[in-house]
Amino acid sequence: MSRVLYSLCGADSSVRFSPHCWKVILALKHKGLAFEEQPVGFTEIPTLEDGFSKTVPILKDGDKLIADSFAIAIYLEQTYPDRPSLFKGEGGLAMARFVEAWSQSTLHPAVTRIAVKHIHDMLAPVDQAYFRESREARLGATLEEVATGREAEISGFSEKCTPLRNMLKFQPFIGGSEPLFSDYIVFGAFQWAALTGNTGLLDPNDPVSNWFERCLEFSEKG
């Protein structure tokens, strides 16, 4: 059975930077499921699978199509229950929604302001035009205006990670002794920053940096 993950790429198709696609890459590796990654540019998404979804990730698992990273994680958990769990129970699934809400309301706006110009510059020309128009409408400012807040955002980034840092005093992963989908949700935000040229947002000795490295090691093992 073929398994294809459509994920977002820049002009260089080897650079896949979408935080939401990274969540799914690590979820598939966690489940030990082989897959082929098919990188696509922003403007190709509407042409995929007869316009199945306006956003990636899209997972095609045999003849089944699923979009949205959280929905894909739930699908994988339900479809492959004998593989390692992504949630470790009903409570873990519910609380992963809180982790998602925290990551996407706290880290994502910060990474957007830090990385928006880098992301734009990495894209193929046709995707650059789409990205500029859609993001400027969403952000209510030009990409260049948003980017003026970059240094302030970098200065404040470490403090935004405080809940994760404090939790790491008790356990090595958000999922406890091992990473779960909740870790991959937050990992996605950091990987997005890193792959768009924004490394060094945290001190290398920061417990959060160490957690990120542990997640990365896990993903490379898969």
Nearer CB in complex with a copy of itself: 38/209: 209
Among 164, 189, 201, 202, binds a copy of itself (CB under 8 A): 164
Q: How many residues bind a copy of itself (CB under 8 A)?
A: 35
Nearer CB in complex with a copy of itself: 50/159: 159
Contact 189, 26 (CB under 8 A): no
Site string for a copy of itself, 116-155 (x = CB under 8 A): ----------------------------------------
Any contact of residue 93 with a copy of itself (CB under 8 A)?
yes
Nearer CB in complex with a copy of itself: 53/104: 104
* Binding region for a copy of itself (CB under 8 A) out of 136-144, 147-155, 173-181, 201-209: 173-181
Nearer CB in complex with a copy of itself: 131/181: 181
Nearer CB in complex with a copy of itself: 76/122: 76
Contact 86, 73 (CB under 8 A): yes
Any contact of residue 55 with a copy of itself (CB under 8 A)?
no
Among 80, 102, 136, 214, binds a copy of itself (CB under 8 A): 102
Residue 197 is encoded by which pair of tokens?
């040229």
> Whole-angstrom Cα distance, residue 112 to residue 146?
9
Among 11, 95, 129, 194, binds a copy of itself (CB under 8 A): 95
Please state whether the peptide bond connecting residue 57 to the residue before it is cis, i.e. omega within 30 degrees of 0.
yes
Any contact of residue 106 with a copy of itself (CB under 8 A)?
yes
Residue 119 is encoded by which pair of tokens?
């992301």
Least distance from a copy of itself to the Cβ atom of residue 85, Å: 7
Please state the separation of Cα 162 from the chain's center in Å: 19
Any contact of residue 162 with a copy of itself (CB under 8 A)?
yes
**Residues in the site for a copy of itself, rule: CB under 8 A?**
85, 87-102, 104-106, 162-167, 170-171, 173-177, 180, 182
